[in-house]
């Protein structure tokens, strides 16, 4: 059974991202002109203004840059304490996610984490949420 999550923002660009996650594919927009990644996804590249892009499959590895633990509940689906992390993906873009399989006290700057999937559900239906945790042994 999927875990209830806060309602996702949904526009045509987000819909494409979530459609890929249905197949457990972690893809981000990449500009077809200058190769810069666009995250969050949008209509044009913030580097060269091109509207041409591809959805590139990510390796699913990232380096921890920062994290924070919220001691106040902002969403009933995320009871306090709740930790969020910022990763630099191997391909370069920054990605905000949640740690899985690791306690917040164990997080360290420069730590390499890999993609894990968890099931989620909101008013748009069931989906797979990309989360990051320790590299499998």
Q: Which two tokens stand for residue 124?
A: 């748009």
* Distance separating alpha carbons of residues 77 and 32, to the nearest angstrom: 37
More confident residue, 137 or 16: 16
DSSP E strand boundaries for the chain: 3-4, 27-31, 37-38, 53-57, 61-70, 82-89, 94-97, 112-122, 125-134
Q: Which pLDDT tens digit goes with each residue over 63-101?
A: 999 999 999 998 888 889 999 999 999 999 999 999 999
Range of the domain at 17: 3-134
CA distances from 71 to 22, 67, 95, 135 (A): 31, 13, 22, 27
Q: Which pLDDT tens digit goes with each residue over 110-132?
A: 999 999 999 988 899 889 999 99
- Portion of the chain with pLDDT greater than 70, in percent: 99
Domain count across the chain: 1
Flag whether the pTM goes above 0.85.
Answer: yes
């Amino acid at each position: 059974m999927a875990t209830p999550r806060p309602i996702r923002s949904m526009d045509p660009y987000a819909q494409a991202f979530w459609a890929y996650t249905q197949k457990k594919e972690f893809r981000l927009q990449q500009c077809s002109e200058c190769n810069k990644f666009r995250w969050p996804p949008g209509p044009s590249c913030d580097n060269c203004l091109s509207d041409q892009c591809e959805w590139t499959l990510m390796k699913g590895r990232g380096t921890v840059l920062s994290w924070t633990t919220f001691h106040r509940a902002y969403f009933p689906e995320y009871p306090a304490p709740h930790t969020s992390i910022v990763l630099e993906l191997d391909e370069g873009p920054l990605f905000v996610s949640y740690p899985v399989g690791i306690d917040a006290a164990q997080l360290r700057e420069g730590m390499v984490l890999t993609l894990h999937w968890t099931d989620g559900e909101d008013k748009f239906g069931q989906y797979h949420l990309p989360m990051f945790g320790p590299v499998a042994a």
